[in-house]
Amino acid sequence: MEKRIELEKRGRNPGQIEDLNLDNCRSTSIVGLSDEFTNLETLSLINAGLTSLKGFPKLPNLKKLELSDNRISGGLNLLRTSPKLTHLNLSGNKIKDLDTLEPLKEFENLKNLDLFNNEATGIDNYREKVFHLIPSLKYLDGFDVEDKEAEDSEVEDDEINGNESEDDDEEVLDDEEDEEDDEHLDDEDLDDEDVGLDAVYKEHLEEESEGEDYEGEVIEDEDEDELVEEEEDGEDEDAEDESTPRGKKRKHDDGEGN
């Protein structure tokens, strides 16, 4: 047990440890567990081979003690040094009578006691007598005095239901996100359609503008042809004007000659 304790400490100071698991460490008595574990709240010694609680240390803040599946038959008075104890599991031990449980009546905070698979559970009116013996006790072997299941189980059920409701909420959120994504995709499709229409419209405008430019070029060509024709007509008239005086000069020259 001492080696197991050192292993579980993992280099920590004993006063810093709140939970300690020594299950299956195999020891007939408590060895190596000292009063230095002042802040220990949970101690588990399941199936450790204990035959007694000899050597149990002073653990002023201990609240939960697991001692199931050992061979303990008495010595519960050694637990008095842990007055804050609220949960004690002694199932699967060798407790034969209710007198062995007498020291537990001094634990004012003890709420939950398990004695499954002990001979004492076969005593007549066992449950009624144990509840009477330990006034602070609320649950015995998982049920209260009216045979209603312990709150711990009810809390677990609530947690399960709470997890289911959280899952449902997550599914609803996922559905909403999917719908938002679909709407976003629809908007993108519409944008794409708008872009497509804009492109078609722009292409149509470009074709029309090209057609207008072509007609403009034709008109310009026609204007140029008219200008060319006018220039040619002007040249012809100039040529006629030039030829006429020359003819007159020739005639004049001929007259002088005659």
Looking at domain 2-149, what is its CATH homologous superfamily? Ribonuclease Inhibitor (3.80.10.10)
- pLDDT at position 252, please? 45
Torsion of CA 163, 164, 170, 175, to 10 degrees: 180
- pLDDT at position 152, please? 54
Provide the edge-to-edge strand list for the sheet that holds 139-140.
Answer: 19-21, 42-44, 64-66, 87-89, 112-114, 139-140
Q: What residue segments make up the domains of the chain, in order of their start? A: 2-149, 173-258
- pLDDT at position 217, please? 44
Mean pLDDT across the chain, nearest whole number? 76
Query: Residue 135 and residue 111: Cα distance in Å, rounded?
Result: 9
Q: Write out pLDDT tens, residues 33-56.
A: 999 999 999 999 999 999 999 999
Q: Write out pLDDT tens, residues 167-206.
A: 544 544 555 555 555 555 555 554 555 555 555 455 555 5
According to DSSP, the residues that pair with 65 across neighbouring strands are 43, 88
Poorest-confidence range of 81-90, 93-102, 161-170, 225-234? Answer: 161-170
Q: Of 67, 84, 85, 86, whose CA–CA distance to 29 is shortest?
A: 67
Q: Percent of the chain, pLDDT > 90?
A: 55
Q: List own/partner pairs for 18-25 with CB under 8 A and 24 or more apart.
A: 18/42, 20/44, 22/48, 23/47, 23/48, 23/66, 24/48, 25/1
Q: Write out pLDDT tens, residues 93-135.
A: 999 999 999 999 999 999 999 999 999 999 999 999 999 999 9
Residue 74 near residue 99, CB atoms below 8 Å: no
Residue 53 near residue 75, CB atoms below 8 Å: yes
The pLDDT of residue 165 is above 60: no
